[in-house]
Amino acid sequence: MTSSSAPTVRENGTGTPLVLLHAFPLPARMWEVQLERVPGPAGDDARVIAPDQRGFGTAPLGDLPPSLDTAADDLADLLDGLGVERAVLGGLSMGGYVAMAFARRHPERLAGLVLADTKATTDTDAARANRERVAAAVLERGSVDLLIEERMAENLLAPGTDPELTDAVRKMIAEADPAAVAWAQRAMAARPDSLDELAALEVPAAVIVGELDTVTPLSEARMMAEALSDAELTVIPAVGHLSSLEAPETFNAAVRALLKRVK
Ligand code: MLT
């Protein structure tokens, strides 16, 4: 069980429950366009649910040690609270890692899977060391300023992206709590390889990736799509890591196509 209180949840529409899990270190607000449009013109194609994950947005961090399993169990508790037995689960980047942890721990509750700009492989030693450097630095400084610059430099968004979107992303990162940033970095560093779990899943899946994503590149997306038994891969041209924000129409179309395949 978890020791944090229930996270804030944004919700819209009726129909197949679709839970969208945000990237690091953004809040659930990053899913605004999906919340508005994925339910469709009559609003009854999907019940889109976008929770702030532990420590982000308005969700309390709690006092459990860093672990993506804890984040996955938070989600199971959330579904219990909403009266949802099974859901399509979608995650972008860190959200995808949590979705894979959920698939490992609660496979019977999974109706379908969207893995966007994420990967099933583990961190290299260098990536783990870098996460610990960032965790220690933000805690010591009590500020995420360094993270804003480092993340934007990683081509979160494709070169030439609308400056308004770039500004909106910077603002969302700036809102992150240093303690949550450190917690999430340490949780992500400890994640296991999930390719075997993906291979064991029988639910339909959509794998989505921005063609210019350098954080979780196309090669990783291909590996996940090949491991899954029933996956469709969508590569979004001229788009970086945050594909749902940069190309919402193409992203939403891939998600809506998956919803049609879900029983
Ligand atoms: C994210 O966007 O959630 C992060 O890039 C995930 C990561 O740091 O591996």
Go through the domains of the chain in sequence order and give each one's CATH number: 9-123+192-261 (3.40.50.1820)
First to last CA, the chain: 30
**How many DSSP H helices and E strands does the chain contain?**
11, 7
* Inter-residue contact 180 to 54 (CB < 8 Å): yes
CA–CA distance, 134 with 116 (Å, rounded to integer)? 24
- The tens-digit pLDDT sequence of the chain (263 residues) is 344 455 579 999 999 999 999 999 999 999 999 999 999 999 999 999 999 999 999 999 999 999 999 999 999 999 999 999 999 999 999 999 999 999 999 999 999 999 999 999 999 999 999 999 999 999 999 999 998 888 887 779 999 899 999 999 999 999 999 999 999 999 999 999 999 999 999 999 999 999 999 999 999 999 999 999 999 999 999 999 999 999 999 999 999 999 999 97
Backbone φ and ψ for 155, nearest 5 degrees, come out as 60, 50
Nearest to 256 by CA among 206, 214, 221: 206
Check if 187 has its Cβ closer than 6 Å to any atom of ligand 1.
no
Q: Kindly state the helix (H) or strand (E) to which residue 245 belongs, with its residue range.
A: helix 243-246
Q: What is the ipTM of this complex?
A: 0.96
Check if 23 has its Cβ closer than 6 Å to any atom of ligand 1.
yes
* Inter-residue contact 154 to 214 (CB < 8 Å): yes
Count CB neighbours of 74 within 10 A. Answer: 23
Check if 93 has its Cβ closer than 6 Å to any atom of ligand 1.
yes
Atom of ligand 1 nearest to the CA of 22: 3
Distance from residue 68's CA to the centre of ligand 1 (Å): 13
Q: Hey, what are 166's tokens? A: 């770039």
CA–CA distance, 75 with 53 (Å, rounded to integer)? 8
**11 beta partners:** 49
Q: For residue 22, which amino acid is it?
A: H
